[in-house]
Structure 1
C-alpha cells in the first residue's frame, strides 16, 4: 500500500519534505529497512525538482534516519540509528546550543549534578561484582590524573573518561544516552574554559572522594563529592569568565 505523505508548500521545500518523511518514519508508516520511493517518485509526489528531493534525503541521512545502498536492488532505506549515533547527534546539538548561548552555566551545572547524581546512587547500589569493572576504570583514570607530566588536553580527556565510567556504572541505557550530552559535550566545553584557572589537585581530590564513596557503596558520600566538584567547577568557570572580561577591557 503506498505511503501517504503530507503535502508541502514551495518555501523551504527540502526541509518540509524531510520533515514529512521523518514523520512517516517516526509514526511507523515507513518501517526500518523499508525502501523509500525513488527520487523521481518523490519529486513527482511533492511536485518539486529532484535536487530538492536529494537535499531532503541528505538531511535524513545526516540524522541517521535513512541509509543508501547501490546496485540493482539499491536505493534509500529506513535506518535504525544506533545508540552511539543518537548520543553523538545529541552531544553535537548540545555543543552548538552552548556555543550560541542557549544553554547557560547554571543550567549546565544543575543538569550535571542532578543527572550524574542519579548515576552515583545507582552505581553505589550495585553489588561488588557488578561494580568491579567501573571501579577499575575509575582507579586507572585517577592514577593517570595524578601524573604531573600529563598535558592539559590529556588531563581533560581522562576527566571525561572518569565521569563516563560513573555513568556507565549506573547500567541505565536512557541515563547513559542523556548523560552523553553532559559528559561528552558540556564537560569538554567547561574544561576548555576553566583549565587555566583550576587546580588539578582539587579535581583529583574530588574524584578520589567520589571513588572511595563508591567503593564503600556510599551513595550519599558519592553525591556529596560530586556536588562539591560541580560547585568548584562553577566557581572556576566564573573566575575564567571574569579574567576574559578583564583582558577584553
Structure 2
C-alpha cells in the first residue's frame, strides 16, 4: 500500500470521507484484495497526517459500505471484505447520488450520461426481455397513471426504469445504470417535478414499454432520446422560472 495517498486528496470535503474514498479506490483497482489487512489506525493517521479519530471515522464509512470488516484482539484490525454484487451496487448508487446532490456533476451532463447508458440497454432489453420484465414495466406504468403523491410517483418512476434496464439481462449494464436510475433519477425528479407533466411522462413510458414488447430497438432508442430532451428542457424551464438563467 502506497504511503503517498495524501497528495491526491481534494480539500473540499471532510478528510474522513476522502480517506475512505481513497481506500475504496484501492480496493476497486485490486491494490487491496479480499482478506487483506489494512494498516493500523496509527499507521493510517501518519500516512494521511491526521488524527486517529479521523481515520476511525473513515473506517466506519468503509464498513457502512460493506467494503471492510473489523476484528478485535491480537490478530485483529480492519480487513477487506469479499465484495458482493449487491454491495457494489449499493456503493455505486450512494456515490452517484453524492455526485449530483453536491453539484460535482451538473444536471445536463448527468442527464446525457444517464440516457446514453439507458439507450445502450435498448436493443438488449428488446431482445432478451422475459414476461416478468414486461409485467414489472406495466405495473410501474399503472402506478404512474394512478392518482398518487410525488413520493409514490417518484418510486414508480424509478421502478419503471429499473425494470427496463433489468430487461436487458446484462449484470454489467445493470450495475452501471444502478447509480443513474436509483441515485440520480430521484434527484432529477426533485429538481424537475414543479414543471413536469405526469401524463406526458406516463405516455412516453407506455411507448417505451410497448417498444420493448414489440422488440423494436429503434423505437425504444427514439423514446429515450425524447425523454432526455424533455428532462433537460424541464430543468432549464425551472431554472428560468427561478431566475437562474
Q: TM-score range by the shorter chain?
A: 0.7 to 0.9
Q: Is the 8 A contact 1:6 1:20 kept in 2?
A: no
Question: For 1:105, which of 95, 104, 107 is the aligned residue?
Answer: 107
For 1:109 and 1:16, the matched residues in 2 are separated by 26
Aligned to 2:151: 153
Q: Give the drift of 1:200.
A: 0.8
Aligned to 2:82: 80
- SS of the aligned residue for 1:171 comes to coil
Corresponding pairs, count: 238
Most deviating of 77-86 and 230-239:
77-86
Aligned to 2:188: 190
Consecutive unaligned residues in structure 1, runs of 5 or more? none
Q: Against the structure 1 CA distance between its residues 36 and 163, is the aligned structure 2 distance closer, same or farther, given a 3 Å change threshold?
A: same
TM-score, normalised to structure 1, is 0.78
Consecutive unaligned residues in structure 2, runs of 5 or more? 10-14
TM-score, normalised to structure 2, is 0.79
Higher Cα radius of gyration: 1
Q: RMSD of aligned C-alpha atoms?
A: 3.5
Question: For 2:242, which of 235, 241, 244 is the aligned residue?
Answer: 244
Most deviating of 31-40 and 164-173:
31-40
- SS of the aligned residue for 1:125 comes to helix
Most deviating of 158-167 and 80-89:
80-89
For 1:16 and 1:146, the matched residues in 2 are separated by 43
